[in-house]
């Protein structure tokens, strides 16, 4: 393991001179980080040589002090080698603690995890979404259950978290908690983030995730077809709550906004775009990326429909219910409309990416921009191309080759 740049400097504190003498100290520097050790010795300032870091002269006092400094240097080098051999990420403070005999209590994962989650919670709405905090809170709960089940402990030292620990935890999530492969991978990525932080802080020599391969499988995401969108749009329910949920779901189908972003929309987020038409100008809560979306007529109609309710909803653009209620009512809507799919709010975002945009010839780069994605690869994950789009794109080739074959037949029969 490559260690940080390491140096030892002996020096006197000239701002603490008393009766011509100054206290002597050792300064440890490791990769720019410093820590100082008082050597409990005073030396006449006039006798100190800062270049050699020794006392000048051949007197008995000078020889004894210089021998003492050599012993201090040897001792510090020995402790450095000891920590290095143990695979510890060495810091100046850690080396000082070894020298003065301070025994550091080994750090363990659970208190670090709890503090991390408290930090995330305090930053909700300021760099973190509530969903991120919920995921880490759930991950900690699973980790604590695993420690109790597998290790009969409520906590474990960081140094005991090995590659074997990772594989055992992965198996626990899959077998005991019945969590699918992709969600398990997300939980393990969360644990990797915590352990990487521990490495950065010098509490762990290296991450046990080095060389670990996250296992995932592609997911076919449900979308609404053009016919299903039409059925949903034309359906009028007897209950107002279902009509409202249907409208807000359709709004997401025509804007690509996720639930939380629709929930957060204000009337001030709708402005005139570069083309003179109304656009939505917002930032995705999940990634904090800008999202600029031209409002299609169906989406504009829904905004106009609920315009009179904005004052009652504290200037929120639409009367959005909780995500749990929305998804609950969407199941009821799917049954009423005979849509044989597990209808959830997020399907609207996939529908926008495929049925509404890509299948109608909108370039994937444009779709990615409207969805607020940082990478085009993310959009490709969302947006599968429909068979109808493939058929339409290939139609010109069918026509070309069909005409070419007819021409060949005419020439041959000529």
- Segment 119-137, tens digit of pLDDT: 999 988 777 878 889 999 9
pLDDT for the residue 253: 93
Global pTM value? 0.59
pLDDT for the residue 138: 96
Q: What counts of helices (H) and strands (E) characterise the chain? A: 15, 8
| Cβ neighbours of residue 4 closer than 8 Å, sequence gap 6 or more | 30, 31, 90
- Tokens 């209950």, located at residue: 239
Assess contact for 135 and 125: CB atoms under 8 A. no
CA distance 324 to 328: 6
- CB atoms inside a 10 Å sphere around CB 16: 11
Q: pLDDT tens per residue, the chain (414 residues)?
A: 344 588 999 999 888 888 899 999 999 998 888 999 999 899 999 999 999 999 998 899 999 999 999 999 999 999 898 888 766 678 888 888 888 877 667 789 999 999 999 999 998 877 787 888 999 999 999 999 999 999 999 999 998 899 999 999 999 999 999 999 999 999 999 999 999 999 888 788 789 999 899 998 877 678 898 899 999 999 999 999 999 999 999 999 999 898 888 988 888 899 998 889 999 988 777 666 778 889 999 999 999 998 887 656 677 889 888 888 888 999 999 999 999 988 888 899 889 988 888 888 888 888 888 887 777 777 777 655 556 666 666 777 777 777 766 655 555 565
SS (H, E, C) 196-249: HHHHHCCCCCCCCCCCCCCCCCCCCCCCCCHHHHHHHHHCCCCCHHHHHHHHHH
CA distance 45 to 37: 19
Assess contact for 330 and 344: CB atoms under 8 A. yes
CA torsion angle 289 295 296 301 (round to 10): 130
Q: What is the CA radius of gyration of the chain?
A: 33
CA 286 to chain centroid: 10
The per-residue pLDDT for range 348-364, each reduced to its tens digit, is: 988 998 888 888 888 88
Among 158, 118, 325, 338, residue whose Cα is nearest residue 230: 338
- Tokens 């604590």, located at residue: 144
CA distance 300 to 283: 19
CA torsion angle 381 383 388 391 (round to 10): -60
CA distance 80 to 98: 9
pLDDT for the residue 121: 92
Assess contact for 170 and 189: CB atoms under 8 A. no
């Amino acid at each position: 393991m490559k260690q940080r740049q390491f140096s030892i400097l002996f020096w006197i504190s000239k701002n603490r001179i008393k009766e011509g003498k100054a206290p002597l100290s050792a300064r440890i520097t490791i990769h720019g980080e410093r820590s100082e050790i008082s050597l409990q010795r005073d030396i006449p300032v006039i006798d100190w040589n800062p270049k050699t870091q020794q006392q000048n002269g051949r007197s008995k006092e000078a020889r004894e002090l210089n021998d003492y400094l050599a012993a201090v240097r040897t001792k510090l080098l020995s402790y450095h080698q000891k920590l290095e051999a143990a695979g510890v990420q060495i810091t100046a403070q850690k080396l000082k603690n070894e020298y003065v005999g301070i025994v550091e209590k080994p750090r363990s994962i659970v208190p670090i995890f709890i503090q991390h989650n408290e930090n995330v919670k305090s930053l909700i709405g300021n760099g973190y979404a509530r969903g991120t905090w919920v995921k880490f809170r759930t991950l900690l709960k699973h980790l604590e259950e695993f420690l109790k089940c597998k290790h009969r402990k409520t906590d474990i030292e960081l140094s005991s978290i090995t590659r074997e620990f990772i594989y055992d935890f992965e198996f626990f999530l899959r077998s005991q908690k019945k969590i699918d492969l992709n969600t398990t991978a997300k939980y393990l990525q969360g644990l990797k983030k915590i352990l990487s932080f521990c490495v950065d802080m010098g509490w762990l020599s290296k991450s046990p995730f080095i060389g670990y391969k996250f296992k995932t499988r592609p997911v076919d995401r449900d979308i609404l077809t053009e016919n299903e969108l039409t059925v949903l749009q034309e359906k009028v329910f007897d209950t107002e709550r279902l009509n409202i949920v249907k409208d807000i779901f359709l709004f997401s189908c025509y804007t690509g906004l996720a639930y939380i972003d629709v929930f957060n929309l204000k009337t001030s987020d709708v402005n005139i775009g570069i083309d003179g038409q109304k656009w939505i100008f917002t930032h995705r809560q999940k990634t904090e990326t800008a999202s600029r979306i031209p409002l299609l007529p169906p989406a504009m109609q829904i905004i106009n429909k609920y315009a009179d309710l904005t004052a009652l909803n504290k200037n929120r653009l639409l009367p959005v219910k909780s995500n749990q209620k929305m998804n609950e009512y969407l199941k009821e809507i799917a049954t009423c409309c005979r849509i044989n799919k597990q209808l959830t709010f997020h399907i609207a975002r996939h529908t926008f990416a495929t049925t509404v945009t890509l299948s109608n010839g909108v370039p994937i780069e444009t779709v990615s921009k409207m969805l607020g994605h940082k990478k085009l690869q993310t959009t490709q994950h969302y947006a599968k191309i429909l068979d109808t789009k493939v058929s339409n794109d290939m139609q010109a080739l069918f026509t070309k080759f069909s005409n070419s074959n007819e021409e060949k037949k005419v020439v041959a029969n000529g």
